[in-house]
Structure 1
Amino acid sequence: MHWVIVDNGSSADILYYPTFQQMRIDRERLTPTNAPLVGFGGTKVFPLGVITLSVTAGDYPRHITKEVMFLVVDYSSAYNAILGRPTLNSWKAATSTYHLMIKFPTKYGVGELRGNQIAAQECYIAMLEMEDQQQTMCIEEQRALAEPIEELEEVSLDDSRLERTTRIGTLASWPVRQMLTTFFRDNKGVFAWSHEDMPGINPTVMVHKLNVSSSFPPIRQKKRVFAQERDKAIAEEV
């Protein structure tokens, strides 16, 4: 387990295929995925699939067990797996690269997961000796972007507010496009160009919440006093 790299910069949890084979997991358990991984050098790696495994961290009783969704990658590496931000966030973990340590809250106090300095040095040397060392640093998961299959024409919906426009496809015939434009103009009230155009949104549709633990009481900060010139500048900016 010391051959697992903890990477705060990785947007995905990665399991290398040689490790997957050593774990004797049936390949039919893999869920297909078409999202490639992009490394520092811009090279794309397509995972074999996704698998969810149970991972336990820490020593009893200060330990946690979480389900981790790994992207299985068919590449040789100095490491067995990469634990990225999804897992670290689910653990609410704080990492220290200097101490090779992770701390996370548990039901019985703060749990710890310590790395091995010797194993870390061996992994680093092995990585440098590999021909393609960038393959171990798959840090970003690239999502496929939908592109329009036709050119779009911008049409105005309000003659008094020329900035209020929308786009329609150009493959449709001219009468159909005219009919769409007339329909959009007659129902321009459903479009929103600013927050003022969206009053009374149901919280079940969209709501903003602060990710703050309810067990911590709110703290009122001290009032800040500024010079008269700064107070005037602040008032003008607000």
Structure 2
Amino acid sequence: MTPARQPTPPPHHKVINFIAGGSEVCGSTYSQAKMMARETDIRVSQQDGLVISLPVGNCLIKRILVDNGSAANIMMLNTLKKMGLAESDMIKKSTTLVGFSGETKRTLGEITLPTYAQRVNLLEKFCIIDVDSTYNIIMGRPWIHNLKVVPSIYHQVLKFSTPWGAQEIRGDQDMARECYNTCLKPIVQYHGNETHVATITRPEKLAEVDLKTGDKKVLIVEDLSPTIEANLVNFLPTRLDAFAWEHDDITGIDPNVITHKLNVDPNYTHVRQKRRKFTTKRNKIINDEIDMLMKAGMIKEVNYPEWLKNVSIVQNKNGKWRVCVDYTNLNKDCPKDPYPLPHIDTMVDSTAGHELLTFSDASSGFNQI
């Protein structure tokens, strides 16, 4: 049902006007932008951005750029502080924003604030970044879609439907030209003899960390911040039981905690292969692998097996030999697992927003089935 009375606008305690700096919109020189800023009438040939003012939180925020090319609502850190909010008020979640030319910027976190637009109050999530910008806030597609806004840069207006009829928000063309005038000021200070050196991304350099346990060492990235590097160097020696340099170091899980058993269908016939003969060289490879697994307690010898399968020897690209077991027939006899491993996109999403990632590289340290 449509409310009988239209809600009153929320009161705002502050007015956030201006932050210096910014990006190019139209024109090429500071003098041209200054000349455009003097023109107060809206011309048919205008190329100004759509800049508006909105109540956000308990403040009236000016210089808000409406950008339907942005996939996120962005708020500058200076704007957050001028609103009387602290960094502790936002959720510490670091994500990567990618520009049209591929440049990246890491966010400091995100915050959800009420945004009021012509009697419609919505809770919008803002990504916080620490840059000097002409605009206080950039309203992207999330806000445009949630409010079902039709923006027109040509007509300098936003229109959207409400329970009380169609509403509109007019853009401030003078403010848009002033923003552009401000962002072009650094161009005047450019010196022609300055050369730009392109940065080349090189592979990460690794540094060894001595765990004070003989020759056992771990590698960390060299370009870590001094604080993170010092914390890692102090932390890693306290967790030596988490590392496994040999099979003997893998303690395994107590069977009283969890035990994995194969759910073999009893209606299937067991497969027992005849013993396959190998050359002397391959026999040595197989015996060495079995002795190592027996010593680590990963396998054990059984008598009168119900299933019997010969091992296979596979040579890796690095020249080493890998001992494998073909369990094709056994897999056919087991019902399909209704809970497979998570998809790679789920794993990527779960790690997004974190600055550090700990993972295990088991390319040559697992027992392949």
TM tier, smaller: 0.5 to 0.7
Task: In structure 1, give the amino acid aligned to 2:113.
Answer: L
Structure 2: give runs of 5+ residues left out of the alignment: 1-52, 54-61, 188-315, 317-321, 339-369
Q: How far is the alpha carbon of 1:182 from its aligned partner? A: 5.2
- Which of 327, 330, 336 is equivalent to 1:179? 327
Distance in 1 between residues matched to 2:144 and 2:158, nearest whole Å? 9
Structure 1 partner of 2:143: 87
Task: In structure 1, give the amino acid aligned to 2:74.
Answer: I
Label 1:120 to 1:174 Cα distance change in 2 as closer, same or farther (>3 A). Answer: same
| Pairing 1:112–2:165 present | no
Q: Contact 2:80/2:86 (CA < 8 Å) preserved in 1?
A: no
3-state DSSP of counterpart to 2:69 = coil
Label 1:130 to 1:13 Cα distance change in 2 as closer, same or farther (>3 A). Answer: farther
Label 1:112 to 1:187 Cα distance change in 2 as closer, same or farther (>3 A). Answer: same
Greater RCO, CA 8 A, separation 6+: 1
| Pairing 1:71–2:91 present | no
Q: How far is the alpha carbon of 1:185 from its aligned partner? A: 8.9
Label 1:70 to 1:188 Cα distance change in 2 as closer, same or farther (>3 A). Answer: same
Structure 1 partner of 2:81: 21
Label 1:173 to 1:110 Cα distance change in 2 as closer, same or farther (>3 A). Answer: farther
Structure 2 partner of 1:124: 180
Q: How far is the alpha carbon of 1:187 from its aligned partner? A: 5.7
Label 1:182 to 1:113 Cα distance change in 2 as closer, same or farther (>3 A). Answer: farther
Label 1:112 to 1:189 Cα distance change in 2 as closer, same or farther (>3 A). Answer: same
Matches within 5 A, 1:80-229: 80-130=136-186, 174-175=324-325, 178-179=326-327, 183=331
3-state DSSP of counterpart to 1:3 = strand
Distance in 2 between residues matched to 1:28 and 1:78, nearest whole Å? 25
Q: How far is the alpha carbon of 1:117 from its aligned partner? A: 0.6
Structure 2 partner of 1:55: 115
* Greater share of residues in strand: 1
Q: Normalising by the residue count of structure 1, what TM-score does the alignment of the two structures yield?
A: 0.55
Label 1:189 to 1:49 Cα distance change in 2 as closer, same or farther (>3 A). Answer: closer
Structure 1: give runs of 5+ residues left out of the alignment: 132-169, 191-238
Q: How far is the alpha carbon of 1:38 from its aligned partner? A: 1.0
3-state DSSP of counterpart to 1:86 = helix
Label 1:69 to 1:181 Cα distance change in 2 as closer, same or farther (>3 A). Answer: farther
Deviations 1:195-230 (A, max 9, x none): xxxxxxxxxxxxxxxxxxxxxxxxxxxxxxxxxxxx
Seq. identity, %: 32
Distance in 2 between residues matched to 1:102 and 1:185, nearest whole Å? 64
3-state DSSP of counterpart to 1:174 = strand
Structure 1 partner of 2:50: none
3-state DSSP of counterpart to 1:89 = helix
Q: How far is the alpha carbon of 1:111 from its aligned partner? A: 1.3
Structure 1 partner of 2:105: 45
Provide the alpha-carbon RMSD of the alignment: 2.8
3-state DSSP of counterpart to 2:133 = coil
- Which of 26, 31, 36 is equivalent to 2:96? 36
3-state DSSP of counterpart to 1:28 = helix
Which consecutive aligned stretches of 4+ in structure 1 deviate over 6 angstroms post-superposition? none
Deviates further, 41-50 or 9-18: 41-50
Q: Normalising by the residue count of structure 2, what TM-score does the alignment of the two structures yield?
A: 0.36
Q: How far is the alpha carbon of 1:129 from its aligned partner? A: 3.0
How many residues in Structure 1 have an aligned counterpart in Structure 2?
146
